[in-house]
Amino acid sequence: MVRGSGLAEQDVVFARQLPAAIDAGVFHNDVIAVGHDDLMLCHEQAFVDQEGVIQGLRRLRPELRVAQISADAVDLRAAVRSYLFNSQLVTAADGRTVLVAPSEVRSDPAVTDAVDGLLADGFLDRVEIVDLTQSMGNGGGPACLRLRVELNDTETAAVPSGCLLDSEAVDALEVWVDRHYREELAVADMADPELLEESRRALDELTVMVGVGSVYDFQR
């Protein structure tokens, strides 16, 4: 993956998740750590040789600030259950650091205390709590929205306009979802050929909406 991305090995830190964290339910690293700009928030049991991982990151980014939540304060099960580290770290327009977190972080007193400690220490300036019950119930936490790709003007201009989100695009997507999403989906539906056709019609319409052209094999 490093070679395929054209990265030099000296510019990469190879971090391995701690097996105990995986056993506790950390299926992706974004359930146990989150980074943004010069900030990193993680559980102290996130990685194998965690201190070595942090030193490696600081070698590449000396200004890196790291906040580690101890296992004594929040155990691994509570960290996974609360989705604390699945939250988003963002910089607000006023330059303040904001943690956008699911309401679950307020359901566990230990996690609440840990977040309040980050505020008191100045690692965070503000915490925004968002009710993501429906998303969480369907397997999607805050980190599902966390991918950010920086583009220059030329790269931005090359992006199909339909892929850029604004209020008009949101309205169109909501209409598309209402038209194509089934209210319920059972295991038996997986054997229904009509589900395949429905999915293809939905994707066909979506690719036209966003202006990316025929990207699926069935469209060719």
- The reply to whether 191 and 134 lie within a common domain is no
Same domain, 167 and 134: no
**Is it the case that residue 71 has pLDDT exceeding 90?**
yes
Tell me whether residue 218 is in a domain. Answer: no
**90 lies in the same domain as 55:** yes
Tell me if 219 is assigned to some domain: no
The pair of structure tokens assigned to 195 is 């589900």
Q: Answer yes or no: do 122 and 161 share one domain.
A: no
How many C-beta atoms surround the C-beta of residue 193 within 10 A? 7
Among residues 90, 124, 145, the one where a domain terminates is 145
Tokens 């220490």 correspond to 121
Given pLDDT bands bounded at 50, 70 and 90, which one contains residue 153? very high
Do 180 and 79 have their domain in common?
no
pLDDT per position as a tens digit, 14-65: 999 999 999 999 988 889 999 999 999 999 999 999 999 999 999 999 999 9
Both 45 and 124 in a single domain?
Answer: yes
Give dist(CA 68, CA 145) in Å, integer.
23
Given 122, 145, 168, the domain boundary residue is: 145
Whether the predicted pLDDT of 146 surpasses 90? no
Structural domain of residue 183, as residue ranges?
Answer: 153-213
Cα separation, 58 vs 22, whole angstroms: 25
Per-residue pLDDT at 141? 63
Number of domains in the chain: 2
Q: Which residues contact 113 (CB under 8 A, 6 or more apart)?
A: 73
Residue 143 has pLDDT above 90, yes or no: no
Q: Are residues 176 and 90 in the same domain?
A: no
Q: What torsion, rounded to 10 degrees, do the Cα atoms 117, 121, 126, 128 define?
A: -30
pLDDT average, residue stretch 162-176: 93
User: pLDDT per residue over 99-114, tens digit each?
Assistant: 999 899 999 999 999 9
What is this structure's pTM?
0.74
Q: Which residues have a Cβ under 8 Å from the Cβ of 45 and sit 6 or more positions away? A: 18, 20, 21, 32, 71, 76
Q: Are residues 199 and 90 in the same domain?
A: no
CA–CA dist 76, 26 (Å, integer): 9
Query: Of the candidates 90, 115, 145, which is a domain's last residue?
Result: 145
Q: How confident is the model at residue 139 (pLDDT cuts 50, 70, 90)?
A: low
